């Protein structure tokens, strides 16, 4: 039990691959994308998955074990070290266009698969320093409004048409990208404006967190431009965009076709494990800090990643997150697989949680 936290050290392997791609250039720049979106999906089709949950005593020990916290806190300095190294490397005039493209995608993976994912976990913590770390990580993908919209909007409206981040039955990922990116940003402004109104706080003030975060993003990009030059600045924006699109890809597969029943004109049924797609496939689980046990995360958002549980009645993805993310970019194939899963679980859910 004491060494169980070490399995999450696989995040360091991913970071090492990205560092090597930046150091060596050449064909190395494509190793990270191949590892994440080809090798892992293949392995997860072969490897057995586990539905085992921790025993109650084990769970209590894991919740109090600071080593799990140190593991996820470490992503912050590592992400910023990667960012610095990336900015230095892409400013090298000797690099070819395809080497730069590979480096942009590699750092984009660091932003989306590592940075935003760790930010998501930390953003649900109730300490000021962990929430600050969450915002710091989101800053590297220029997606700081996620902190506001996800915690106050998505978790309230998940699996309803009122939630920008809940994909609809038959909606392609490309249509979802436009709707979710646009509407999530506006939703964050709305949520923060309403909060300020309730406390009689002026919109143009440092208390407006959305305003402060957006200004901080602009200053961050400008500072990169001044220090490293316009080219690394633009390439950073490109990597950040890849990062938040990877996040939106995860959003897409997590709630596709799932809907909560409306009780009356104002309220929906309580969020239950059946309202989120779950995956117990091993590599994606540990690489993404158990994000793939998403059913329990939405059922009880305060649970730390190391104690998230499997529920027998939650809809199960046919493979892990990396494989499902790749599949989502081919809508006919994605619909063929997932619509079959929806039909499979529709009867079990009484038709109330599924399209």
pLDDT in tens, 227-266: 999 999 999 999 999 999 999 999 999 999 999 988 887 7
**Rounded to whole angstroms, how far apart are CA atoms 112 and 109?**
5
**Rounded to whole angstroms, how far apart are CA atoms 176 and 104?**
23
Q: Which helix (H) or strand (E) holds 78?
A: helix 75-90
Give a yes or no: residue 60 inside a domain: no
What pLDDT does 350 receive? 56
Q: Which residues contact 161 (CB under 8 A, 6 or more apart)?
A: 168, 259
- Whether the pLDDT of residue 191 is over 90: the answer is yes
Give a yes or no: residue 32 inside a domain: yes
> Distances from the Cα of 166 to the Cαs of 3, 85, 248, 276, 309, in angstroms?
36, 35, 10, 10, 22
What pLDDT does 352 receive? 54
pTM for the structure as a whole = 0.94
Q: What is the pLDDT of residues 6-43, one digit of tens each?
A: 889 888 999 999 999 999 999 999 999 999 999 999 99
What pLDDT does 122 receive? 97
351: helix, strand or coil: coil
Q: What is the pLDDT of residues 277-327, one digit of tens each?
A: 999 998 999 999 999 999 999 999 999 999 999 998 899 999 999 999 999
**Range of the structural domain that residue 129 is part of:** 10-49+68-258+266-346
Give a yes or no: residue 4 inside a domain: no
Give a yes or no: residue 56 inside a domain: no
The span from the first CA to the last CA of the chain, in angstroms, equals: 41
Q: How many domains does the chain have?
A: 1
Give a yes or no: residue 82 inside a domain: yes
Give a yes or no: residue 313 inside a domain: yes
Give a yes or no: residue 352 inside a domain: no
- Whether the pLDDT of residue 342 is over 60: the answer is yes
Q: Which residues contact 131 (CB under 8 A, 6 or more apart)?
A: 122, 123, 125, 147
């Amino acid at each position: 039990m004491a060494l169980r936290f070490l399995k999450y050290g696989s995040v360091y392997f991913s970071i090492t691959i990205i560092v090597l791609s930046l150091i060596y250039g050449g064909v190395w720049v494509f190793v990270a994308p191949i590892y994440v979106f080809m090798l892992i999906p293949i392995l997860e089709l072969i490897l057995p998955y586990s539905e085992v949950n921790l025993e109650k005593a084990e769970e209590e020990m894991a919740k109090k074990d600071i080593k799990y916290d140190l593991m996820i806190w470490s992503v912050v300095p590592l992400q910023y070290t990667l960012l610095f190294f990336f900015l230095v490397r892409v400013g090298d005039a000797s690099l070819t266009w395809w080497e730069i493209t590979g480096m942009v995608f590699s750092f984009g993976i660091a932003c989306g698969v590592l940075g935003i994912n760790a930010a998501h976990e930390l953003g649900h913590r109730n300490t000021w320093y962990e929430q600050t770390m969450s915002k710091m990580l989101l800053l590297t993908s220029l997606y700081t409004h996620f902190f506001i919209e996800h915690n106050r909007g998505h978790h309230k409206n998940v699996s309803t048409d009122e939630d920008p981040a809940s994909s609809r039955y038959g909606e392609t990922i490309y249509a979802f990208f436009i709707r979710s990116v646009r509407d999530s940003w506006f939703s964050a402004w709305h949520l923060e404006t309403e909060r300020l109104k309730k406390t009689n706080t002026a919109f143009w003030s440092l208390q407006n967190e959305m305003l402060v975060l957006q200004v901080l993003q602009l200053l961050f990009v400008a500072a990169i431009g001044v220090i490293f030059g316009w080219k690394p600045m633009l390439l950073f924006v490109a990597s950040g965009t890849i990062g938040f699109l990877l996040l939106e890809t995860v959003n897409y597969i997590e709630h596709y076709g799932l809907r909560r029943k409306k009780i009356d004109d104002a309220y929906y049924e309580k969020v239950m494990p059946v309202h989120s797609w779950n995956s117990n496939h091993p590599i994606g689980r540990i690489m993404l800090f158990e994000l793939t046990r998403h059913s329990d995360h939405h059922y009880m958002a305060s649970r730390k990643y190391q104690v998230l549980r499997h529920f027998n009645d939650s809809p199960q993805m046919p493979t892990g997150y990396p494989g499902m993310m790749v599949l989502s970019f081919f809508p006919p194939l994605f619909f063929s697989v997932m619509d079959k899963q929806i039909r499979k679980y529709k009867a079990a859910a009484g038709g109330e949680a599924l399209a």
